[in-house]
């Protein structure tokens, strides 16, 4: 009963902020989810074959399910949901995650919408008497800016950005870059073979949200890029130094400028952080962590977690590429967050 009352208070806060109920499908095409939104969910999805032999899954993530629902119906751009996500985990035997969440699709004002989502979540927490609110925030787009500013082969830039969300493999890549050891010959030959195979395919065809022509351009860069590179150790040192930034939000500008000066980078490399800086309007304790928010592949910008004391009660972020990868004809900016009901 108490659990139900808390949910009702949160939903009232969502409604008062202009969010409208959406009820995404529970059953999804598992291959569609994996191909379109990344490999993150493959090991945790609960799958089965339907009567037609198609592999289906219980929705592993309500953001992805809500995006699919939005693309089907395109009714409301500011939605809330109340439901369950189903994922297996090595750490937890409980497959069911009860969530209340909000999403803004077609986000036209990034600064305003990022702030609205975080504010709505914080207000919801306060309505149910959660106290000692703290916020952990990051921005995965800053890493992409850093990598693109560094003087190293394009293939390495693409690789590091692509695998940033996989911390263990990413560390392996850094070690190889540090030792100036490139991809092995077998992998290189496989890339080359696949490149010539795809050149014969319909260039307009889409694979995992990317056109064949776009994939071929990336392959071409990897194949033509110089194979020798002698600055790996220096580059890795800069990357690791960036990933160690952890400070109060009020000190962020100072820390980033110090980092840029120390590593002889352009001073404007991290300009226009208005969405994060706008969070200074909040009265809660906010920490910026550069290494935070990289465990979900689809995040593209600001990422955050909201804590009450030591308990994480909500998390969310910006995902401007996800809707296009799920089938939208053009990029649809979006931001959202979910409250974990088990922690309230």
Strand order in the sheet with 246-248: 20-21, 78-86, 96-105, 334-340, 311-318, 302-308, 133-139, 285-289, 246-248
Residue ranges, CATH 3.30.930.10, the chain:
1-130+323-339
Interval 248-279: pLDDT, tens? 999 999 999 999 999 999 888 888 788 898 99
pLDDT value at 46 more than 60: yes
DSSP one-letter string for 74-126? ---SEEEEEEEEE---SS-S--EEEEEEEEEES-S-HHHHHHHHHHHHHHHHH
Position with higher pLDDT, 107 vs 38: 107
Number of CB atoms found within 10 A of residue 129's CB = 10
- Provide mean pLDDT across the span 287-295: 89
Q: What is the pTM of this model?
A: 0.81
> Predicted confidence band at 183 (pLDDT cuts at 50, 70, 90)?
low
| Range with the largest mean pLDDT of 25-29, 159-163, 245-249 | 245-249
Phi, psi of 316 (to 5 degrees): -175, -170
- Give the lowest-confidence range in 155-159, 216-220, 223-227: 223-227
Residue 244, Cα to own-chain centre: how many angstroms?
19
Helix (H) or strand (E) holding 339: strand 334-340
pLDDT at 215: 76
Q: What is the mean pLDDT of residues 185-205?
A: 70
Q: pLDDT band for position 221 (50/70/90)?
A: low
Q: Which of 44-48, 115-119, 177-181, 259-263 has the lowest mean pLDDT?
A: 177-181
Per-residue pLDDT band for 205 (boundaries 50, 70, 90) equals confident
**Confidence at residue 131, expressed as pLDDT on a 0 to 100 scale:** 83
**Is the pLDDT higher at 344 or at 276?**
276
CATH of 1-130+323-339, one of 3.30.930.10, 3.40.50.2300, 3.40.720.10, 3.40.50.300: 3.30.930.10
**DSSP class per residue in 14-48:** HHHTT-EE----SEEEHHHHHHHH-GGGGGG--EE
Whole-angstrom distance, CA of residue 14 vs CA of residue 16: 6
Which tokens hold the place of 206?
């889409």
**Residue from 48, 57, 65, 21 nearest 298 by CA:** 65
Could you tell me which of 270, 272, 279 has the C-alpha nearest to residue 317? 279
Quick one: pLDDT at residue 190? 67
| Mean local confidence (pLDDT), 171-177 | 91
The answer to whether residues 24 and 59 touch, using CB atoms and an 8 Å cutoff, is: yes
pLDDT, position 78: 95
CA–CA separation, 16 and 78 (whole Å) = 12
Per residue in 60-84, pLDDT (tens digit) is 889 989 999 999 887 789 999 999 8
């Amino acid at each position: 009963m108490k659990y139900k009352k808390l949910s009702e208070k949160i939903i009232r806060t969502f409604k008062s902020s202009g969010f409208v109920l959406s009820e995404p499908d529970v059953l999804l095409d598992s291959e569609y989810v994996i191909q379109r939104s990344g490999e993150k969910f493959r090991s945790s999805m609960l799958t089965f074959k339907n009567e037609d032999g198609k592999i289906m899954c219980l929705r592993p993530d309500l953001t992805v399910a809500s995006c699919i629902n939005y693309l089907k119906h395109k009714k409301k751009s500011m939605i809330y949901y109340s439901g369950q996500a189903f994922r297996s985990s090595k750490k937890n035997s409980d497959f069911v995650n009860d969530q209340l969440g909000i999403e803004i699709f077609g986000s036209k004002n990034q600064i305003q919408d990022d702030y609205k989502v975080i504010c709505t979540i914080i207000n919801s927490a306060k309505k149910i008497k959660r106290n000692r609110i703290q916020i952990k925030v990051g921005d995965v787009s800053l890493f992409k800016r850093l990598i693109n500013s560094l003087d190293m082969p394009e293939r390495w830039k693409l690789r590091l950005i692509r695998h940033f969300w996989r911390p263990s493999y990413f560390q392996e890549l850094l070690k190889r870059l540090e030792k100036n050891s490139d991809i092995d010959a077998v992998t290189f030959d496989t890339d080359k073979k696949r490149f010539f195979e795809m050149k014969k395919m319909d260039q307009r065809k889409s694979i995992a949200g990317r056109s064949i022509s776009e994939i071929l351009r990336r392959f071409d860069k990897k194949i033509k890029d110089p194979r020798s590179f002698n600055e790996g150790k220096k580059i890795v040192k800069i990357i690791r130094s960036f990933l160690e930034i952890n400070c109060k939000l009020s000190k962020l500008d100072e820390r980033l400028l110090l980092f840029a000066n120390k590593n002889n980078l352009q001073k404007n490399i991290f300009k226009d952080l208005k969405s994060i800086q706008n969070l200074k309007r909040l009265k809660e304790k906010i920490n910026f962590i550069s290494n935070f928010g990289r465990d979900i592949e689809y995040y593209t910008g600001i990422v955050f977690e909201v804590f009450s004391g030591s308990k994480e009660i909500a998390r969310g972020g910006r995902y401007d590429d996800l809707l296009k990868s799920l089938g939208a004809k053009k990029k649809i900016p979006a931001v959202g967050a979910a409250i974990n009901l088990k922690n309230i």
